[in-house]
Amino acid sequence: MSIAPYEAGNATDCQAVAAPVPQPRGPLHRLREVRQQQRISLRTVARRLGISVQDAEREESETEDLPLSQLYRWQEALEVPVCELLEDSQMELSSPVRARASLVRVMKTAVTLS
């Protein structure tokens, strides 16, 4: 086996050919819809996420391409399984999540009245 010398040349000689990244069609997530179904205010979610209301509103836009780590933060803030945030926008929350949200609303009302 022989080793031939290699001349790297100028770095500008190499041109990276990048294929265009396809843009997804339709909504990317259901953050706003789930938050509204849970009856949680945007301000409350922003506080739980530790971000401004404006940033939460921007992230909530269904065309905002969020990293998975941020979806997990939203999942914790909304207290729903992450799959609920990724489902088809035409689908309702699953029965257990709806039941839990209803129970949480009742508990909040009871605390407010006491």
Q: Against a cut of 0.75, is the pTM above it?
A: no
Provide block-wise average pLDDT over 10 residues at a time, the chain (114 residues).
57 53 70 92 96 96 90 94 74 72 82 82
3-state secondary structure 29-72: CCHHHHHHHHCCCHHHHHHHHCCCHHHHHHHHCCCCCCCHHHHH
| Token pair in block for residue 105 | 């609303």
| Class of 26-113 in CATH | mainly alpha
Question: What are the tens digits of pLDDT across the range 82-92?
Answer: 888 885 645 56
Q: How many CB atoms lie within 10 A of CB 75?
A: 18
CA 75 to chain centre: 8
